[in-house]
A and B are shown apart, each in its own frame.
Chain A
Amino acid sequence: MSKAAVDLPPKGGFSFDLCKRNDMLAKKGLTGPSFRKTGTTIVGLIFQDGVILGADTRATEGPIVCDKNCEKIHYMAPNIYCCGAGTAADTEAVTDMVSSQLQLHRYHTGRESRVITALTLLKKHLFSYQGYVSAALVLGGVDCTGPHLHTIYPHGSTDTLPFATMGSGSLAAMAMFESKYKEGLSRDEGIQLVVEAICSGIFNDLGSGSNVDVCVITKGHKEYLRNHLLPNPRTYINEKGYSFPKKTEVLMTKITPLKERVEIIETGDAMEE
């Protein structure tokens, strides 16, 4: 910046050189680029025999889709699954952690895990981080007390609902649920409604996209339908095909062993204490 300054060796850390410029530009009215939260559409609903969870499969880094087919429905227990929206690292870490805690609890008690247990563990953890662990979850499962569906917000509050949506596409999905949900849906009707809600998020929300994952949980049985629907297939394929340059040419091969093989000679006596 200033030519009169002494030339110091470049240190690590954040370079504050441009902060003054940014401030000046902001005062003139130029707003900088904003960070987008990871977009998602996740839903859950209670039907006649249990719970159905659904999610899209797009993971974003700012404006770029970094994973076109990620898994947002996480395993918690054989009878409990959890969809996660928000920062992907936070949702993965918190669901893995609680899943292990539930497993240990199962060993301890000798019983099937209950959805309320998972709920309390998640809620206590998220509350103690005061919203900094950015995980918004839809937790669903069937246990000995019946089917349950809960939403958990990053600050630690929870709601218990018959149908729920979370993520940036939650408004689009909730519109579908509010108009078509009724109690006592059959399995096929439930899956159909979940798929419609997720598709509504995929096509109308920029943060959600790609495919639809569905998970159906009933008493004693679960079905994880990965990529149940693929409404965004890759349609253009170049007929000429792709040709890549040949890999590196090998000119000479020479192998030098670094250590000699050690010969073991059997001695007479065995070791004694």
Chain B
Amino acid sequence: MDCLNLNEPHSMGTTIIGVTYDGGVVLGADSRTSTGVYVANRASDKITQLTDNVYVCRSGSAADSQIVSDYVRYFLHQHTIQLGQPATVKVAANLVRLLAYNNKNMLQTGLIVGGWDKYEGGKIYGVPLGGTILEQPFAIGGSGSSYLYGFFDQAWKEGMTKEEAESLVVKAVSLAIARDGASGGVVRTVTINADGVTKNFYPGDTLPLWHEEIPAQNSLLDILSAPSPEPMSM
């Protein structure tokens, strides 16, 4: 195998998900950022804030997605000041789409924009590579999403409650982590509704175990540093 090249551009292998429910949206993501085969950051936060009520899930090139979300946050801030009220999710998604489409030759990033506003309620917009914008009841993205298309076709239903939506997202991300090498770490979720924003964090050992997965064990370091047992006597 090729020796690891630490100068490869950072990419977020990733699994990102956005799901609408009755009253808001739930965004979810894994936390692995890889440079080639080395995990550069095992606890990254791929769900970035654009405004108080709109968040975006980032996938693809880490640098490109960070710069795009920085620009959109800046434009949205100006827009909010000029408009005099919170920006809508549709405007945020369209700003993301304009940057992604007009720079399609230079950017390599897939994004899922999700949030809540008082006009439309909870909305999810997918902005994949190329800069299409597609409003969907749920969206999945990143390398791990390949393993989730069938799962969502079967498991997603209209009019879920907040708890159902969040557990669906956590289950889906953990399934993708189990099968996709470029996804891993912890599962982060952000729930946005009329009451505000709630962020949650699910470390690896709280996730359900799937086929052939073994339960987490204590690190050898804890066992080794324990005091040695009494010597046996005959």
Contact = CB atoms under 8 A, between A and B. Distances in A.
B10 A155 contact: yes
Interface string A168-179: 101100000001
Nearest to B221: A179
Interface residues of A, number: 21
A4 B71 CA distance: 63
B67 A159 contact: no
A127 B63 contact: yes
A170 B5 CA distance: 12
Given A123-B66, A131-B9, A161 B221 contact: no
A20 B44 CA distance: 48
A153 interface: yes
Interface residues of B, number: 18
A157 B7 contact: no
Contacts of A168: 6
B58 to A, nearest CB: 10
Interface string B63-97: 10011000000000000000000000000000000
A168 B5 CA distance: 9
B63 A157 contact: yes
B209 interface: no
A134 B6 CA distance: 12
B41 interface: yes
Contacts of B10: 153, 155, 157
B6 A157 contact: no
Contact of B7 (A134, A151, A161, A171): A134
Nearest to B44: A159
A151 B40 CA distance: 10
Given A159-B40, A161-B41, A171-B38, A154 B7 contact: yes
Given A37-B7, A170-B6, A156 B66 contact: yes
Interface of B: 4, 6-7, 9-10, 33, 35, 38, 40-41, 43-44, 61-63, 66-67, 221
29 contacts: A123-B67, A127-B67, A131-B63, A134-B7, A136-B6, A136-B7, A153-B9, A153-B10, A153-B35, A153-B40, A153-B63, A154-B7, A154-B9, A155-B9, A155-B10, A155-B63, A156-B66, A156-B67, A157-B33, A157-B62, A157-B63, A158-B66, A159-B41, A161-B41, A161-B43, A168-B6, A171-B4, A171-B38, A179-B221
Given A157-B66, A179-B221, 9 more contacts: A37-B7, A123-B66, A123-B67, A127-B63, A155-B63, A156-B67, A157-B63, A159-B40, A171-B4
